[in-house]
Chain A
Amino acid sequence: MSDKKKIMIVDDEDAIRLLYQEEFEDEGYEVIACKDGEEALEKFQKEKPDLVVLDIAMPGMSGLDVLGKIKESSPNTPVIMSTAYSHYKQDFYTWVADAYIVKSPDLSQLKEKADELLNKE
């Protein structure tokens, strides 16, 4: 299937990256996993993903910085912010993002959001 939708996962936590990758692959998506912001921005231009799942608290470039850069170059690509706690929900930077989810071992919420955003177009 060449029209597989591409999801980019950005998270510094290896286990989470692997978990998300496998779950989304099981759902039939193509997954590009990146371990930090720099890698994400580099691959974003090359791969042109249909959706980005972005962690906020990362060493180096923060998820909010990455969000800004992505929205600058491709404002229509939906971005889901994902973080451990809901502190950032009030941060107005995250308003630019299309969705905000709190990380949980139960991925159903994340998957629902991803489906919803990808099938809007």
Chain B
Amino acid sequence: MHNNSNIKNLLYEFSILLSKETDLRHLYFSALPILLLAFDFEKIVLFKYSKRKLCFDPKIGLEKESVSYIKEMWEKSQNIGSFANYLLNFDITELYETDFNKKIRMMNIPCNEITRSILNPFIIKEIKNIKINELKNRHVTHILKQMRIEEALYIPLCAKNSTVGFILASPIIENKQELLSFSAMLGLCMDSLISLKTITNLEKFIESNKEEFIHKQKLYEIGKTASTITHETKNSLVGIIGLFQKLKSFVEKTEKSTKYINIIESELSKLYRFTLDINKYSRNSSATYKEFVNLNELVDKAIEMATTINSDFVFSVCIDKKASTIYADKGQLEQVLINIFKNSIEAYNKKAGGTIKVIARKEDGFIVIKIRDNSGGVKEDKLKEIVKPFYTTKTYGTGLGLSIVGEIIKEHNGIMEFSNINNGLECTIKLPIPKNKIPEDKNE
């Protein structure tokens, strides 16, 4: 029943759905089935454009057979808006778990200059047909091969005169005019939900920083009090123990006095040792909680935070599949990346053109992460100095950042090194892969 009135009715449901969706991820899974049903596509794939990485991320892949139960719902629904409401509230797990979707999402398109230069001409703002044997673009060819199709319809998703993403659908249809209404609405909806997500992330970041600050302040106060107490206690004990030694010689030695003296002596020395121990503890930093973390997500998040300082910086990320999982404390490693990014951004003294490249790969027992900038580097003889506390060249950072970073990497039994590269600084972080631990297979 894919006639014009069916499209019109679905367009109506689509607009209701889009006006109510609040979650970006859910939107992909609720909106795409409607497109698939309206134009009777066999396969449909959506890519989201990442402004930060200047790249496209695969978000969802759907096949006709996997939405058959949704089609049934549509055919059964009688009231206007009821199908939209069904999609708005339906559980996306089943669609998420399909093999096709998983395959699409696993598709790893590296974000680097080469990919960008190839993909950029591909960013066109009109619907058009693309054919595998006419394509020069290796990456797009790869996508079509993964979809197992020869040709596809390219549907751009735009908002505010820029690209939010695109859809590839198959088979090619002629009725592109009506498709445009769907894609225009979807683009706008995606854009507003992306903005919403960014704001929420930032709010969370600010909030967590605030909490962390309060927490640290409290710890600091407790630590200060504890250290004052031990300091005073130790001071008193030095006098007490010393004078007690003298007092001993005045005491008449009887069985009882010897017993008392021994007890007092052993208790005093216990207290004294305690004041020595407690001081050792106060110097230990907070405990780390290590787990298997997705490096892609971690880098993404750190980039997101770092770009709040300077949104003009262009990030390239190329993480080898084998290096996508690291064993680390999530929060601390994020701090590491943010601090390194921040240093590079702060060291850059031109208005535009700043770039940071993140490369990760597996290398005999280690995950090696390299972060390269074009911010000019540091003097060769100062390279070893930059991780020392309070060291600052005025251009690279505030002085404490990299020393904290160094401590964290040390805490992870890792190695961190800096070297100058062509017009920039390269930070190499090596994190050991634990031998006796196997990462759990996690889906997002």
Could you list which residues of chain A lie within 8 angstroms of chain B, going by C-beta atoms? 13-16, 18-19, 22-23, 57, 84-85, 103-105, 107
In the complex, the number of residue pairs spanning A and B with C-beta atoms less than 8 Å apart equals: 44
Question: Contact between B236 and A13 (Cβ–Cβ < 8 Å)?
Answer: yes
Question: Contact between B231 and A16 (Cβ–Cβ < 8 Å)?
Answer: no
Question: Contact between B234 and A13 (Cβ–Cβ < 8 Å)?
Answer: no
- Would you call B314 an interface residue if the criterion is a C-beta within 8 Å of the partner chain's C-beta atoms? no
Which one of A85, A104, A107 contacts B231 once the chains associate, using CB atoms below 8 Å? A85
Looking at the assembled complex, report how far the CB atom of A112 sits from the nearest CB atom of chain B, in whole angstroms: 16
- Would you call B310 an interface residue if the criterion is a C-beta within 8 Å of the partner chain's C-beta atoms? no
Residue of B nearest to A22 (CB): B246
Q: How far is the CA of A86 from the CA of B242 in the complex (A)?
A: 20
Q: How far is the CA of A18 from the CA of B241 in the complex (A)?
A: 12
- Would you call B137 an interface residue if the criterion is a C-beta within 8 Å of the partner chain's C-beta atoms? no
With contacts A15-B243, A19-B243 taken as known, whether A103 is within 8 angstroms of B238 at the C-beta atoms is yes
Q: How far is the CA of A103 from the CA of B238 in the complex (A)?
A: 7
- Would you call B226 an interface residue if the criterion is a C-beta within 8 Å of the partner chain's C-beta atoms? no
- Would you call B391 an interface residue if the criterion is a C-beta within 8 Å of the partner chain's C-beta atoms? no
Complex contacts, B242 vs chain A, CB 8 Å: 15-16, 19, 23, 105, 107
With contacts A85-B279, A105-B272 taken as known, whether A18 is within 8 angstroms of B239 at the C-beta atoms is yes
Residue of A nearest to B245 (CB): A105
Which one of B234, B236, B240, B243 contacts A85 once the chains associate, using CB atoms below 8 Å? B234
Which one of A22, A103, A107 contacts B235 once the chains associate, using CB atoms below 8 Å? A103
With contacts A13-B236, A15-B236, A22-B246 taken as known, whether A84 is within 8 angstroms of B241 at the C-beta atoms is no
Complex contacts, B239 vs chain A, CB 8 Å: 13-16, 18-19
Question: Contact between A16 and B234 (Cβ–Cβ < 8 Å)?
Answer: no
Complex contacts, B231 vs chain A, CB 8 Å: 57, 84-85
Complex contacts, A16 vs chain B, CB 8 Å: 235, 238-239, 242
Looking at the assembled complex, report how far the CB atom of A57 sits from the nearest CB atom of chain B, in whole angstroms: 7
Residue of B nearest to A16 (CB): B239
Looking at the assembled complex, report how far the CB atom of A114 sits from the nearest CB atom of chain B, in whole angstroms: 15
With contacts A85-B231, A103-B235, A105-B245 taken as known, whether A15 is within 8 angstroms of B240 at the C-beta atoms is yes
Question: Contact between B246 and A13 (Cβ–Cβ < 8 Å)?
Answer: no
Question: Contact between B243 and A18 (Cβ–Cβ < 8 Å)?
Answer: yes
Residue of B nearest to A82 (CB): B238
Offer 11 A-B interface pairs, CB within 8 angstroms, sorted by A.
Answer: A13-B235, A15-B239, A19-B243, A84-B231, A84-B238, A85-B231, A85-B279, A103-B234, A103-B235, A105-B241, A105-B245
